[in-house]
Structure 1
């Protein structure tokens, strides 16, 4: 037994020496170049800002930087390939990547990268690949270090170099960090599909840099580089740098995260199902939870659909669903069945021209105008109010219409037809409408369509927000009929519902004191203020053009 253990130790030691030797081997000219660059300045540590960052005119400088080792705090690139495999591929592809990861971690960085690229991209359609545009920027931005970001933004011209495929990083660097030129690994394509292999084209990258900077600028001395390890400097673009400054993994871990208010471009839209960062540990936890999550979602759905509200509410709360509600108006009765787990709060509010306490009596139902977070928005109102409601919405799937415990009607986007239909529904009872026309996950509110302002004189703004830990209950490029299922698969999803003061809509538009656009903007602002969300002029069309590449028409 002792002989067997000794032999095993010898074999492990042998392979360890080989792996360490492979990682430590660096071309001689790189060692010489970095050494000369660092010796030319008295300060070489990145956090203290080298001399060219502190004392020179940065408008005249061009910066070539390695994205992963200059901007990102974590050196782990597995989560980004897991996002490609899960969001762009399938659950099976993501499972294979997770199973292979322990073996990948034993290989060299270059070989491990090639295997992850092959597993994640093989067979994906190039034209249909929207993960790089709609999913990855959010996770990249959440991992950006403030110190690295401030250094990169100081230079006038920036060239981002990445070890990741170009289709993964281009949108993030160009649109969110204003990097003029992005160089990543190009992938081979066969008949419109990725085959998971890397296309080597270093000569073209050098020619492209000369074309962007100009021949004179390439040869002058105002090009600097930032990277992490000497091995990463094998990229040919770094050969043009006068000086190269190095970071290290320990240094990046101490960086602060980039606050969202400092993003060069606000992150308003993003897509994908995963709400958590898919590190090996977290994605393993998610896969272990998945069978229970599916059963839990089915259980919650059956309880909500087939049991009376008074019985279903405490059972759903026991299953992990959380609902917080508040009201600013005494005419909004909240059911006693829900009072045991709802939190009420009193608010002060100022009077405006849009509000009046002397609303004319009408036989029409109340109109609830909500911001849109998920397809379950009207259902939460139904459980709080415990009375019949009708919901009108865009992109209503047949499955959602059949399974919904309340009456749901799809809008046609024909103003005249939708107006007639909504007035008819209001004559039958209370109506719920989401004027945004689409969901938004981040703390922003999209522009409100003014159609609802002409439907009723009794408009109740409702501010909604939700929180999930594993899965998003919305999608722009996936199957919308699965949105409620994914939301209910979360262990403890929560909803916040605030009923705001009634707004006088129809009569305000008719007497000329305010236009329908003014009323719609006022309702949008009131909801935004209640949630501390920022109001925007963006629409459904803008969202789908950014995330899915089409205008959102169905």
Structure 2
């Protein structure tokens, strides 16, 4: 009787222990296959040392936590091509899924739909200005810290076209060699265009062998990338497979990015997986209708009712710290208040006006003519001639309050660009205003696209959000009245706004952004 009562407990105890051991083994960051015993399937769970060794790493699934390729093809199709091309790629997804998204046939289908008829310049722009943000946010922290960063020689292998990842891997990740699929091009007239056809061969195996030398010391692949498994097994001493748990949890924090991610372009604010892209296209008609209604509310309705009407149609607006200006401040003998704002979208001055419940003119460095026509407030274009712009701003301050964005351009990430000191030399009565915008589907800014679509894109989000925080007047001892230089005052206000928003201050300028993202100085012609 005792034996029959104890036996089930012993069996349950062993089953529970075996289950825990299996879970622990599965949760390890790497599964290690030594070359001599890879055929037998032996494995261990140690993490290798890559100091001064040659590391060959699979990009998707190794360096990146994401093993899927479709979203990155979708980014090229949508941002480098058009919405129609993106829709065609979405329609081809069932075929890609049936063939295998990581299989050679599936990759060829995605490459053809994405790149057929696309100019190399457009693909290069996406690779430089758009894809790095999505790559950086999905780096595997464990692979990057333990293997990639300390490696003596770095080789990255991707089964996608090389043009999609090479710039990021060399510019941000300091890769010595990037091995990927090549795309055929054809010259028509004076221009070159992609045919969408990949070179023959499963990733150019001779190139892999030549890239890593005779033999790589360590190779890292994703757990669902059989194509690159075949490429790297013959040319490596040790092969490590990243586990699924590591791919889910080991996210690299922003503070440890290889380089600060300050500038990026493109409209899509989400990773366009197949399901997310389908939801985006289904919502887009309704989003455009909502955008027209939301913009009309700001133009037609008075300020005291626009808050409630905007909230009814899904716009989240939060204001805080609004100081009450004394009555004597409204006398004609007194100059207006200069509101110094951070610059997140083109509608910053409009949001400031809504928070103040009165129209405040704004000076702009470059604005499309369509935006000027439909703006519900007065906008004055600056000429970038310092003397003329100073006279213009002084004249506007004599007439009343004025809003200015000293950064000169928008920045999406939590950084503040260098403030132009001109505003600090013209006024002593200033008030910093911290503005921040949040979107989920479409960015309301662009460097290489049509600027007049910026407000339409921002208000086409399901729930666009804006935060306006008044920080109070600048103390007199921090203005030119106390003998401070304009640059010193501008830097003090920049730091004050950065602290309020939790943003980092930089010395980068408008020209730095546009030269990197669009190859121009960002001036919109009249």
Scaled to the shorter chain, the TM-score interval is 0.7 to 0.9
Map Cα deviations across residues 218-271 of structure 1 (whole Å, 9 max, x no partner). 34x663222235532343x764422222335x3444432111111111111111
| C-alpha distance in 1 between matches for 2:378 and 2:336 | 15
1:377 alignment partner in structure 2? 348
Say if 2:87 is the partner of 1:95.
Answer: yes
1:180 alignment partner in structure 2? 176
| C-alpha distance in 1 between matches for 2:96 and 2:216 | 39
Sort the Cα spacing of 1:238 and 1:133 in 2 relative to 1 into closer, same or farther, 3 A. Answer: farther
Instruction: Kindly state the Cα deviation for residue 43 of structure 1 after the two structures are TM-superposed.
Output: 5.7
Say if 2:140 is the partner of 1:148.
Answer: no
SS across alignment from 1:469:
coil
Matches within 5 A, 1:205-284: 205=207, 209=211, 218-219=213-214, 223-228=217-222, 229-235=225-231, 239-248=234-243, 250-284=244-278
On the 8 A contact 2:60/2:68 being kept in 1, the answer is: no
Instruction: Kindly state the Cα deviation for residue 507 of structure 1 after the two structures are TM-superposed.
Output: 9.1
2:186 alignment partner in structure 1? 190
SS across alignment from 2:294:
helix
On the 8 A contact 1:183/1:205 being kept in 2, the answer is: yes
For normalisation by structure 1, the TM-score amounts to: 0.81
Q: Which runs of 5+ in 2 are unaligned?
A: 1-32
Say if 2:506 is the partner of 1:539.
Answer: no
Sort the Cα spacing of 1:36 and 1:480 in 2 relative to 1 into closer, same or farther, 3 A. Answer: same
1:4 alignment partner in structure 2? none
1:125 alignment partner in structure 2? 119
1:30 alignment partner in structure 2? none
The 4+ residue runs of structure 1 with deviation greater than 6 A are 39-42
SS across alignment from 2:109:
helix
| C-alpha distance in 2 between matches for 1:40 and 1:332 | 83
Sort the Cα spacing of 1:102 and 1:389 in 2 relative to 1 into closer, same or farther, 3 A. Answer: same
Instruction: Kindly state the Cα deviation for residue 307 of structure 1 after the two structures are TM-superposed.
Output: 1.8
| C-alpha distance in 2 between matches for 1:66 and 1:508 | 55
Matches within 5 A, 1:502-517: 502-503=473-474, 508-509=479-480, 512=483, 514-517=484-487
On the 8 A contact 1:72/1:252 being kept in 2, the answer is: no
Sort the Cα spacing of 1:280 and 1:423 in 2 relative to 1 into closer, same or farther, 3 A. Answer: same
On the 8 A contact 2:160/2:181 being kept in 1, the answer is: yes
2:372 alignment partner in structure 1? 401
Instruction: Kindly state the Cα deviation for residue 153 of structure 1 after the two structures are TM-superposed.
Output: 1.6
Sort the Cα spacing of 1:474 and 1:195 in 2 relative to 1 into closer, same or farther, 3 A. Answer: same
On the 8 A contact 1:38/1:44 being kept in 2, the answer is: no
Say if 2:363 is the partner of 1:365.
Answer: no
2:407 alignment partner in structure 1? 436
Instruction: Kindly state the Cα deviation for residue 170 of structure 1 after the two structures are TM-superposed.
Output: 1.6
SS across alignment from 2:339:
strand
On the 8 A contact 2:269/2:441 being kept in 1, the answer is: yes
RMSD of aligned alpha carbons? 2.6
Instruction: Kindly state the Cα deviation for residue 311 of structure 1 after the two structures are TM-superposed.
Output: 2.5
Map Cα deviations across residues 116-143 of structure 1 (whole Å, 9 max, x no partner). 0111111111123311111111111222
Sort the Cα spacing of 1:399 and 1:208 in 2 relative to 1 into closer, same or farther, 3 A. Answer: farther
| C-alpha distance in 1 between matches for 2:37 and 2:167 | 31
Sort the Cα spacing of 1:389 and 1:330 in 2 relative to 1 into closer, same or farther, 3 A. Answer: closer
Say if 2:289 is the partner of 1:295.
Answer: yes
1:550 alignment partner in structure 2? 520
Sort the Cα spacing of 1:298 and 1:145 in 2 relative to 1 into closer, same or farther, 3 A. Answer: same
Sort the Cα spacing of 1:494 and 1:373 in 2 relative to 1 into closer, same or farther, 3 A. Answer: same
Map Cα deviations across residues 498-542 of structure 1 (whole Å, 9 max, x no partner). 111212579943653x21111000000000000011000111111
Q: 1:452 aligns with which of 419, 423, 438?
A: 423
On the 8 A contact 2:267/2:445 being kept in 1, the answer is: yes
2:54 alignment partner in structure 1? 62
1:321 alignment partner in structure 2? 315
Instruction: Kindly state the Cα deviation for residue 312 of structure 1 after the two structures are TM-superposed.
Output: 2.4
For normalisation by structure 2, the TM-score amounts to: 0.85
Q: 2:106 aligns with which of 108, 112, 115?
A: 112
Sort the Cα spacing of 1:194 and 1:43 in 2 relative to 1 into closer, same or farther, 3 A. Answer: same
Sort the Cα spacing of 1:209 and 1:35 in 2 relative to 1 into closer, same or farther, 3 A. Answer: closer
Say if 2:44 is the partner of 1:44.
Answer: yes
1:160 alignment partner in structure 2? 156
2:3 alignment partner in structure 1? none
